[in-house]
């Protein structure tokens, strides 16, 4: 196995385009302050004062710590690219408060310190101690990398040391693991930041122990005094809900809670790389294929039902009732990124890109102030973003991803630089001891022409690996005006341009972006007889604001022609698709629910907008999948 690609240093990537740059700025100037105020207003930050007493209202919840931790992580990433003394001071204050809540033995959890002090580590199946610990660890690493300060890193190292003293296979330790995965990938990050191998081994233990028998969740339930009939199912959900039904190397089908699954699979990929573990990698590949071939929405949303916030049977992908939690799409980005860096295969980057432009971005309004928890692909007009949630995992998760988007665009290794995402801006990468600057000029994702100017600090021979997206057919490529044939250079979806590069070299990539009618597998019963519109990486939908009521009744002719026009005045600047459709006339249905004669159909124009910006105007219906002749 090759060593994984190294992601670009976030501090050395800048976007100045019309798509990501405004969203990053809104995230920095609107979303982060809003989320901070929400964490204050709801008591999440003050919970670290440990002042709550039994009988008082608003006890700290089991997962409150994680919401604050994700906000810290997002704020730290923002500081890495946009220094802000006010935000940095605010972070220092919150971190000092968190440090003051740490117990003498290193334990750190608001709920179990003041609400259930006698129940630490007694219900890993249902509670979120290790999950919250994982997010605190990620926040500590992000803050350290962004600022160089160890104020939170030292706190989370003490906490991780405490956790190491509690869990493991040696005598006197608990053989447990989290019901909600997250700490596993966080410990890998902590190892990378500190070099302490104990954290990597602990991550490996948590992953390896999962699903083994005798089942730890039953053991701890017996210790809690639960009756035998409750020990296996607890909350009424099977072990597959938390991916604990089998040891991870035996798992071949995605199951259970989608967010938990993504965090686990991301950690599995991390550990496969760290230990050159081919069995773990084989499990990741099988799980990836099962997810993307039988359980993923066109938007890269995942998790089809609210009943378990996750997966059901193969090809069950309802539209109006789709769960497709924002956090699940974000988790898919995390896993795809790790698999991409490990396998160097564009199929992972394709899914990552689809998730970013569709399933993730739909989760936040254009003004950065409102959020989707659930992302359906059809709406009757009653589904809207909200200011906050009681379970507020999604808003700060979206914020931390948007603040760190630069790390997903580029990778580097000793003899190559890799470009995974196209967006106007610049990056600085290392190839051995050569610093390579890359400047992109493009109107992506609204236009597929990308111009890349290279500026190595001295002439050097290396490979520039450019992703040719899976949605693109007929890509064209030139170096300094001279055409090259991408197919001859293509390996696993990347065009490998190996040559002696000098400052001023120009690579031009043309990615044709026709509007495409997408069909679903016939086994997806909900989409039979329907098509969706996609252009480049962007999935489109019809909204009532543009098309009147009942867009789901529109019929797209098979031979219909589409036009694309960029509208700088609409929804922050988007490319819209226009064309002609047919739909039933409304006349004659008054006082009638059903009737025996065919309704007359009329030809009407339609406007399709990117799915990621729906519900930013007046309330109304929306549909991604449309009827077709």
Residue 543 among the catalytic residues: no
- What is the dihedral sign for C-alpha 81, 87, 89, 91? negative
Specify the DSSP class assigned to residue 173.
S
Nearest Cα to 299, choosing from 276, 273, 264, 324? Answer: 324
Nearest 5 degrees, angle CA 516-CA 522-CA 526? 85
Q: Which residues pair with 7 in a beta bridge?
A: 411
- What is the dihedral sign for C-alpha 122, 237, 67, 158? positive
For residue 174, count other CB atoms closer than 10 A to its CB: 16
**Quick one: tokens of 540?**
């489109």
Write the burial class of residue 263 (CB in 10 Å: 0-12 exposed, 13-18 middle, 19+ buried): buried
Nearest Cα to 259, choosing from 167, 139, 391? Answer: 391
Residue 136 CB contacts under 8 Å (≥ 6 apart), including other chains: 65, 66, 69, 98, 108, 152, 155, 156, 159
Nearest Cα to 218, choosing from 172, 176, 165? Answer: 176
CA–CA dist 326, 81 (Å, integer): 24
Nearest Cα to 564, choosing from 452, 475, 440, 443? Answer: 443
8 A C-beta contact, residue 599 and residue 585: yes
**Judging by DSSP bridges, how do beta strands 555-556 and 449-456 pair with one another?**
unpaired
CA–CA dist 392, 394 (Å, integer): 6
**Judging by DSSP bridges, how do beta strands 601-610 and 574-584 pair with one another?**
antiparallel
- DSSP SS3 for 48: helix
For residue 148, count other CB atoms closer than 10 A to its CB: 8
> Which listed residue (110, 393, 394, 541) is catalytic?
393
Write the burial class of residue 228 (CB in 10 Å: 0-12 exposed, 13-18 middle, 19+ buried): exposed
CA–CA dist 555, 557 (Å, integer): 6
**Quick one: tokens of 271?**
């550990």
CA–CA dist 270, 622 (Å, integer): 38
End-to-end CA distance of the chain: 49
CA–CA dist 105, 113 (Å, integer): 12
Residue 612 among the catalytic residues: no
CA–CA dist 127, 124 (Å, integer): 5
Nearest 5 degrees, angle CA 207-CA 210-CA 213? 145
> Which listed residue (209, 309, 325, 621) is catalytic?
309
For residue 40, count other CB atoms closer than 10 A to its CB: 13
**Quick one: tokens of 360?**
């993730």
- DSSP SS3 for 333: helix
Residue 86 CB contacts under 8 Å (≥ 6 apart), including other chains: none
Q: Which residues pair with 578 in a beta bridge?
A: 563, 607
**Would you please indicate which residues are annotated as catalytic (active-site) residues?**
309, 393
């Amino acid at each position: 196995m090759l060593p994984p690609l190294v992601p670009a240093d976030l501090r050395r990537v800048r976007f100045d385009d019309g798509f990501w740059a405004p969203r990053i700025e809104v995230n920095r100037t609107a979303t982060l302050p809003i989320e901070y105020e929400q964490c204050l207003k709801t008591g999440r930050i003050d919970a670290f004062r440990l002042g709550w007493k039994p009988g008082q209202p608003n006890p700290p919840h089991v997962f409150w710590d994680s919401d604050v931790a994700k906000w810290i992580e997002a704020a730290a990433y923002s500081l890495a690219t946009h220094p802000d003394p006010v935000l940095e001071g605010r972070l220092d204050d919150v971190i000092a408060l968190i440090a003051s809540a740490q117990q003498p033995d290193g334990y750190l959890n608001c709920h179990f310190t003041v609400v259930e002090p006698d129940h630490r580590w007694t219900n890993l199946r249902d509670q979120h101690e290790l999950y919250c610990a994982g997010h605190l660890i990620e926040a500590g690493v992000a803050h350290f990398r962004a600022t160089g300060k160890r104020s939170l890193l030292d706190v989370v190292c003490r906490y991780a040391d405490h956790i190491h003293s509690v869990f493991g296979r040696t005598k006197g330790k608990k053989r447990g693991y989290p019901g909600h995965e997250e700490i596993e990938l966080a410990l890998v990050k902590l190892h990378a930041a500190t070099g302490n191998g104990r954290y990597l081994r602990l991550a490996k233990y948590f992953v390896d122990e999962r699903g083994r028998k005798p089942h730890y969740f039953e053991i701890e339930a017996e210790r809690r005094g639960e009756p035998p009939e409750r020990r296996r199912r607890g909350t009424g959900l099977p072990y597959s809900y938390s991916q604990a039904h089998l040891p991870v190397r035996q798992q071949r089908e995605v199951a259970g809670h989608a967010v938990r699954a993504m965090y686990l699979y991301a950690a599995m990929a991390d550990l496969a790389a760290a230990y050159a573990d081919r069995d773990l990698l084989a499990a990741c590949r099988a799980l990836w294929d099962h997810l993307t071939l039988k359980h993923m929405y066109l938007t890269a949303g995942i998790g089809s039902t609210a009943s378990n916030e996750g997966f059901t049977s193969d090809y069950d992908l309802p539209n109006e009732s789709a769960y497709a939690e924002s956090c699940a799409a974000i988790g898919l980005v995390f896993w795809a990124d790790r698999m991409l860096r490990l396998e160097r295969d564009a199929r992972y980057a394709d899914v990552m890109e689809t998730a970013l432009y569709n399933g993730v971005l739909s989760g936040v309004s254009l003004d950065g102030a409102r959020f989707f928890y659930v992302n359906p692909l059809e709406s009757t007009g009653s589904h809207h973003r909200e200011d906050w949630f009681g379970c507020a995992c999604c808003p700060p998760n979206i914020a931390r991803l948007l603040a760190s988007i630069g790390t997903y665009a580029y990778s580097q290794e000793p003899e190559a630089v890799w470009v995974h995402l196209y967006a106007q801006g610049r990056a600085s990468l290392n190839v051995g001891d050569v610093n390579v600057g890359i400047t992109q000029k493009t109107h992506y994702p609204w236009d597929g022409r990308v111009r890349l100017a290279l500026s190595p600090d001295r002439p050097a021979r290396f490979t520039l690996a450019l992703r040719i997206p899976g949605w693109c057919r007929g890509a064209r490529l030139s170096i300094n005006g001279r055409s090259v044939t991408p197919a001859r250079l293509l390996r696993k979806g990347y065009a490998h341009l190996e040559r002696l590069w000098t400052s001023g070299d120009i690579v031009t990539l043309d990615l044709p972006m026709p509007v495409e009618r997408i069909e679903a597998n016939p086994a997806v019963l909900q989409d039979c007889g329907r098509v969706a519109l996609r252009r480049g990486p962007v999935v489109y939908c019809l909204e009532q604001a543009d098309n009147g009521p009942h867009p789901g009744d529109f019929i797209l002719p098979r031979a219909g022609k589409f036009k694309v026009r960029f509208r700088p005045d609409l929804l922050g600047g988007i490319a819209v698709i226009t064309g002609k459709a047919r739909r039933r006339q409304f006349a004659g249905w008054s006082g009638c629910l059903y009737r025996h004669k065919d309704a007359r159909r009329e030809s009407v124009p339609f406007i399709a907008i990117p799915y990621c910006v729906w519900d930013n105007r007046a309330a109304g219906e929306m549909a991604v999948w449309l009827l077709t002749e």
